[in-house]
Structure 1
Amino acid sequence: MKWLDRLHGLLAVSAGEACPVCGKDGRPSLAAAALPVRHAAPARELRRLCGDCLARIPWIANAICPVCGRPDRCGDCLRRRERHFERCRGAVRYDETMKEWLALYKYRGLEKLEPVMAAILAGAVERLLSSAAAPAPFDLITSVPLAEQRLEERGFNQAERMAMRISEWYRIPYVPLLRRVRHSDKQSFKGRKDRLENMRGNFAPMAEAIDGLLGYGVSRGNGKLRHSVPSVTPSPTSALFSPPTVLRILIADDIYTTGSTMNECALALRMGLPSCEVYGALWARS
């Protein structure tokens, strides 16, 4: 209920709730026009930030590259020989402030930041939904998987956590569709060429999940429905799922640099579902 979400946000701010990032008490601006996120639930999370922290978010206002949404000319997209995703959009620029926030959440386990991080990601989702970048609503949302070793070290997958909140807010069923084939070195320490090589062949579709979608009537070959589809969901989310002729799948991740990770994930999905369209929502664009 949108009016209830707005009321909760007003009450939280009026009660002087501490900012989840810096811990200070503050009253950020309540003007909806100040936020690039229109959905009441993520907007409420952003309004829990103090005015200073809210002002530090470097939202990407204008997408110059039509493919990845980079705010300037993008050599990576021009050089890419094969692109397996349709479009990507990032919510914010990956500046020093965003690096600090992501490190607090991702590496130091500051879980109270999770709703705010997901609310920032919502900016990328809404940018896709409100533009020609995505011609129709998404049917499923999934996330870039972590290697088992990294998952054990960290204890959670930040992309999955944020994607599941997006699923709840926008009623897009969350389904884990990808798995890591091998452990790879961290991308942050690599150049463009090494990033491409590091990600090549690194992902595969989860056979059980893909077969489950096929069982609901999605064809591997031409995207035609094979039989009538019951109104059920293959995920634990509350959204209902009824596959269309072509699945529009949204992949969530935290950082987009060259696009190699997103491209390999999209390739893996299309290996299992050749007729699907893949889009990317990124928390930040470096």
Structure 2
Amino acid sequence: MKSWLALYKYRGQERLKEVLGPMLMHALQLHRADGKRESTEYITFVPLSKERFDERGFNQAEQLAIELGKRTQIPVLPLFERTRHTNKQSLKARAERVEDMLGVFRIASVGMEGLQRLQRQHLSVKLFIVDDVYTTGSTLNECARVVKERFPAIEVYGLNWAR
């Protein structure tokens, strides 16, 4: 798994998205099997900073989300924006990661409008946030915090390719 991720994320082997994306199906099915009432479902993804995007040329989390959306017919929304660049989280201890991620994300204006519309319609919403790797949870927790702070009724779930 490490070698696949390295080829995909750091060596630009973008064709692997077609293999890795569908692997998120199992995690999605586990969240769907929670027995709760019907919900409107959306997929979003963790955004990269401009610097990281320029370095890689693509956002791996976005590509995985799009692949999952194709297979499930769940709409993919570009919900988040980064407020600042952070250094690579893989080089930091857990406490540093948590502190570094505070305030890094906000809901983009397009996403805000869509979520406000759903809130006015009183629809039950499940939001699946895609990221490639879960290490400490600080990235997903910060994304979820931003959503829950403004929209507490939305159910937020993380979907990761690897841990």
Q: Is the structural similarity TM-score above 0.5?
A: yes
In structure 2, the partner of 1:251 is 129
8 Å CA contact retained: 1:205, 1:272: no
**C-alpha contact (below 8 Å) 1:177/1:269 kept by paired residues:** no
Pick closer, same or farther for the CA change 1:263–1:217 going to 2, 3 Å.
closer
* Partner Cα distance (1:122, 1:138) in 2: 17
Q: Which has the higher helix share?
A: 2
Q: How many residues align?
A: 162
Residue number in structure 2 paired with 1:267: 145
Q: CA deviation at 1:261?
A: 0.7
- 1:210 Cα deviation from its structure 2 partner: 1.1
**Does the 8 Å CA contact 2:22/2:71 hold for their aligned counterparts?**
no
Deviating 4+ runs (over 4 angstroms):
none
- Aligned pair 1:283/2:161, yes or no? yes
Corresponding position of 1:218: 119
Shift of 1:191: 1.0
Partner of 1:120: 23
Letter in structure 2 aligned against 1:250? F
- Distance across 2 between alignment mates of 1:207 and 1:253: 21
Question: Are 1:149 and 2:27 counterparts?
Answer: no
CA distance in 1, matches of 2:87, 2:41: 32
Q: Deviations over 1:14-45 (max 9, x none)?
A: xxxxxxxxxxxxxxxxxxxxxxxxxxxxxxxx
Check 1:116–1:138 CA distance in 2 against 1; reply closer, same or farther (3 A cut): farther
SS of match in other structure, 1:282: strand
Q: Which residue of 2 aligns with 1:209?
A: 111
Aligned-pair RMSD on alpha carbons? 1.7
Paired with 1:217 and 1:116, the residues of 2 have a C-alpha distance of: 32
- State the 1:251 CA deviation: 0.4
| Equivalent pair of 1:210/1:272 in contact (CA under 8 Å) | no
Q: Give, in whole Å, the separation in 2 of the partners of 1:262 and 1:180.
A: 13
Q: Which has the higher contact order (CA 8 A, sep 6+)?
A: 2
Structure 2 unaligned residues grouped into runs of 5+: none
Q: Which has the higher strand share?
A: 2
TM-score of the superposed pair, with normalisation by structure 1: 0.53
Aligned to 1:189: 91
Distance 2:151 2:130 in 1: 18
Match of 1:107 in 2: 10
**Counterpart-to-counterpart distance in 1, 2:145 and 2:105:** 9
* 1:163 partner amino acid: A
Alignment check: 8 A CA contact 1:178 1:268 kept: no
